[in-house]
Amino acid sequence: MSIIRAIRDRRSTRKYTPQNVSLATISELLDAARWAPSAHNAQPWRFIILVETLKKHNLAGAMANAWRADLIKSGSYSKMQEVPIKASIERFTNAPVIIVACITLVDMCIHTDESAQKSERDLAVQSLGAAMQNILLAAENKKLGTCWYCAPIFCKDTIRESLAIPKEVEPQALITVGYPDEKPKAPARKPPHAFSHLNRWGEKLQ
């Protein structure tokens, strides 16, 4: 499959068949991740792979509890919200594979300036994004479905506790992986001239 076709054909898949994804295939996806560019070549990504149903269910339940607690704290909780909360537990539990994506700054540059040190974290996040995109495209090439979720951003401590993640590692996102049981339509995309500028801001591409 050409890279352009993989980019265009990739979809966010939320429904999967019960078919398992082999550890060998998962390793191939992670091998694609390691070839992503990273700041200082620090390769600050760390991945936790969940394939056991109980492990997936426990993580999904912990995340759902954190979501519910946040809704209650903000005063926006209602019984109706139990429907999407329950659906999230089922979605993550039923996905054949969950890849929890994290960053670490252990191999990044150390700065005495606080602003510069915060920038190092931004560089790590950007590097992780590149690695995650490689996983999505490698999965597409293998006819696998994937979906990138940002939910861990809102419950980092919950993820850490559930998966025994050390304090120097920060959960960022997760990817579900499996053989697709749906064919999502391509969402509308803006044309390049709608989000690009030529030479300076305000000068649009034709």
Q: What is the pTM of this model?
A: 0.95
Number of residues assigned to the chain? 206
Digit-by-digit pLDDT tens for the chain (206 residues) are: 699 999 999 999 999 999 999 999 999 999 999 999 999 999 999 999 999 999 999 999 999 999 999 999 999 999 999 999 999 999 999 999 999 999 999 999 988 888 988 999 999 999 999 999 999 999 999 999 999 999 999 999 999 999 999 999 999 999 999 999 999 999 999 999 999 999 999 998 87
Could you say which architecture CATH assigns to the domain 3-50+96-181? 3-Layer(aba) Sandwich (3.40)
> What was the pLDDT predicted at 204?
87
In this predicted structure, what is the pLDDT of residue 155? 97
CA distances from 71 to 75, 84, 94, 164 (A): 6, 12, 24, 25
Domain spans of the chain, in order of start: 3-50+96-181
All residues at 6 or more sequence positions from 43 whose CB lies less than 8 Å from its CB, including other chains: 34, 107, 127
**What pLDDT does residue 1 have?**
67
